[in-house]
Amino acid sequence: MAAVSQHLLDRLSEVEEAAEDVLTTKQQIVDLDARRNRTREALNSLKQELADSEKVKVCFGNVFVKFPKSKAREMIEKDQQQLEQQINTLHTELKAKVNRLNQLQGKPELRGYSLSPLSSEELRSVNSLLKR
């Protein structure tokens, strides 16, 4: 009897850990998306300014530093690209984690959840076939 209850307890803790992992990954995506939105706002703000040679203040933690506008734009765009990569990586990991959680819970794998979008070359091929 104790072995059965220990097995059940181990199984429940495994499911709980998988669920916690899914929730943690989702929260990381939300946090990174908020940062991505802030960098997008900063880029738009820099684009609205007219003079390109002037310096702008950039906040690093609790410190403001003056940078040339072009350098600040480059830094923000680079940060934006890194955030995009991190978010895409987390989305890919999330799919696998959700499938693992469903497997542990005895649920079937989500249908269509692991689909990926067409590449630009594939899309051109489909469009050329449809135009015939």
Model confidence over 97-121: pLDDT tens digits? 999 999 888 888 777 766 777 888 9
Higher pLDDT: 72 or 51? It is 72
Q: Across residues 44-70, what is the average pLDDT?
A: 82
* 14-107 CATH fold: Helix Hairpins (1.10.287)
CA distance 49 to 67: 14
Q: Which two tokens stand for residue 117?
A: 């979008």
Long-range contacts of 76-79 (CB under 8 A, 24+ apart): 76/39, 76/42, 76/43, 76/46, 77/43, 79/39
Per-residue pLDDT, 107 = 85
Tell me, what's the pLDDT at 55?
A: 85
Average pLDDT of the residues of the chain: 88
In this predicted model, what pLDDT tens digit does every residue of 18-37 receive, in sequence order?
999 999 999 999 999 999 99
Residue 8's pLDDT is 86
Q: Which DSSP letter does residue 47 get? A: H
